[in-house]
Amino acid sequence: MQAVSGALAVEYAGVTAIGHVREHNEDRLGWVTLDGEPPYVTPPAEHTIGESKANSGIGFVFAVADGLGGYGGGEVASGMAVEASLAQAQRSLAGGGRVAGTLRDAFNRANHEILDAAITGRGGRKMQSTLSALVITPGEAHLGHVGDSRIYRRREGELDLLTADHSQVMELLRLHIISPEQAIDHPARYALTRSVGGDITVRADVRNESLEADDVFLLCSDGLWSKVTSSEISKAMDRSPAEACRWLVDLALGRGGDDNATAMAIRVRAAGQRPEAPQGWRRLFS
């Protein structure tokens, strides 16, 4: 569906599927507008298609999380990660909070919620999750990221990966210990170096990018990006967000579907204009 808010207009949709092998869907996706409506988070169903229409004069927040299946309670952890981060972001940003600080607070809140739930028996004792979030405000896109879910952007036909996987295999690649070909089937490809709920504190990667009309973003779990190519992701972004998500998830499931697969696509129809930064002495009091 299409959401319009003044000069900022986006169209978005999401699809999550359990796949052919897993017993539970440990992926979650969700979004919230900054107009006071409660966040939308996909339920723990086998296959969910989420589409929404919203209006906001401030912006939108999108999130994807993938629970770690090896520790138990992955579906609880991912749901809490999305719910807690969206709620925290909405409260802070609607109240005028700065986006970078808000994203860090949102990840810390999600981390605290998961740890507390594990301690009090509301899930697996060591349950953890990835979490990738995208905040769209007039003229800007802000990203927060922990784990190996991903955020892509296509602009003027060029596809860019905007996040870096926090995994052991990625560290081996960065150190040139293994080659990209060896990384494909390396036993450490699923071992994360950072997660939400894995420690008392969490360190999220936070960055901001300019926002332009016709930008298309894709948030996805590793069960999707590991089964499709970059060229296929770029090709899918020619479609509407709903069609792109369905096509990519179906493609991933058709190639084995041994993991949950989740995709959320956002197309920017109108980017709006970034507010001018305060100059001189006014900046001290902004």
Please name each of the domains of the chain with its CATH number: 2-163+196-274 (3.60.40.10)
Model confidence, pTM: 0.90
3-class DSSP assignment, residue 276: coil
CA distance 250 to 147: 24
CA distance 211 to 274: 9
Q: According to the model, what pLDDT value does residue 123 have?
A: 83
Residue 126 backbone zone (phi > 0: left; psi -120 to 50: alpha; other: beta): alpha
Secondary structure letter of residue 120 according to DSSP: T
* Average pLDDT, rounded, for the chain: 87
Residue 56's nearest CA partner among 1, 98, 106, 6 is 6
In the chain, the DSSP E strands lie at 2-5, 8-17, 27-33, 40-41, 47-51, 60-66, 131-137, 140-146, 150-155, 158-161, 205-210, 216-220, 261-271
133-188 pLDDT per residue, tens: 999 999 999 999 999 999 999 999 999 999 999 987 766 766 667 666 566 665 66
Identity at 172, one-letter amino acid code: L
The residues that bridge with 143 in the sheet, in sequence order, are 134, 207
193-239 pLDDT per residue, tens: 999 999 999 999 999 999 999 999 999 999 999 999 999 999 999 99
Average pLDDT of the segment spanning 75-83? 96
What's the pLDDT band for 3 if we cut at 50, 70, 90?
Answer: low
- Cβ 113 vs Cβ 135: under 8 Å: no
Identity at 244, one-letter amino acid code: A
For residue 8, count other CB atoms closer than 10 A to its CB. 23
Structure tokens at 210: 């300019």
Question: In this model, does residue 57 exceed pLDDT 80?
Answer: no
